């Protein structure tokens, strides 16, 4: 066994020594805050209840993050902890482990929210959620610590690149021109699916495309 995997398993076993039914329930709830379903609820809330542009930007970055995470998993093809030691698994998970999608998405989403919403309490809450979601994946036995660190690393890179590339787009111009909305919402997912089209990618792109078309109304 690779030494890094053995170290990761030892770390998970050490963490799980503190497990209780209450902690199990707590971290299952925390990890659900990193599920795609939660984000699909969060984005409409940001769009209509907080700030339209914020919701659009966070949604675009999240879509790219999900897409790139799936590609990175296919490149690295690293096992999950329970592939080696099944008894440490506490929740369902599938696919390759590195980098962690939950860790990457939480950093991308909450990091981008923090960038525009600069209140101290939002920054503190975002940091807490990023750390707790990452730790929950280790506690629940579905990711090695290195998976989490990798997710944070790639999430940070995506967030930084997105600021210089995507977020410079004049969203007010796009919003006022229906033709640009339709072309963007239709062609962008098609282009992504031409590059790679795993089941995870198809479901994520389809769901977020539906959200995009909802914005046309």
Give catalytic residues, as residue numbers.
102, 143
- 117 φ/ψ angles, rounded to the nearest 5 degrees: -100, 100
Scan for tokens 């280790």, then name that residue: 138
The conformation of residue 87, written as its DSSP 8-state character, comes to G
- DSSP string for 30-73: HHHTTSHHHHHHHHHHIIIII-HHHHHHHHHHHHHHHHHHHHHH
Residues 6+ apart with CB under 8 A from 56: 47, 171, 215
Burial of 19 (0-12, 13-18, 19+ CB in 10 A): middle
Q: How many helices (H) and strands (E) does the chain have?
A: 11, 0
Exposed, middle or buried, 210 (CB in 10 Å: 0-12/13-18/19+)? exposed
Largest CA distance in the chain: 57
């Amino acid at each position: 066994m690779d030494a890094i995997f053995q170290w990761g398993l030892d770390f998970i076993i050490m963490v799980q020594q503190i497990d209780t039914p209450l902690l199990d329930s707590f971290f299952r709830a925390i990890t659900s805050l990193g599920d795609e379903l939660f984000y699909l609820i969060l984005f409409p809330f940001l769009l209509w209840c907080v700030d339209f542009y914020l919701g659009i930007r966070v949604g675009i970055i999240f879509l790219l993050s999900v897409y790139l995470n799936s590609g990175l998993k296919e490149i690295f093809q690293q096992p999950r902890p329970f592939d080696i030691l099944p008894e440490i698994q506490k929740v369902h998970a599938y696919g390759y482990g590195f980098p962690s999608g939950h860790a990457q998405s939480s950093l991308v989403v909450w990091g981008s929210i923090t960038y525009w919403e600069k209140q101290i309490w939002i920054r503190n809450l975002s940091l807490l959620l990023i750390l707790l979601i990452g730790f929950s994946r280790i506690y629940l036995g579905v990711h090695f610590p290195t998976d989490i660190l990798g997710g944070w690393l790639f999430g940070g890179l995506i967030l930084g690149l997105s600021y210089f590339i995507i977020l410079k787009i004049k969203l007010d111009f796009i919003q006022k021109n229906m033709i640009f909305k339709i072309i963007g919402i239709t062609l962008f997912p098609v282009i992504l699916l031409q590059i790679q089209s795993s089941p995870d990618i198809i479901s994520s792109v389809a769901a977020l495309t539906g959200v995009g078309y909802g914005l046309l109304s």
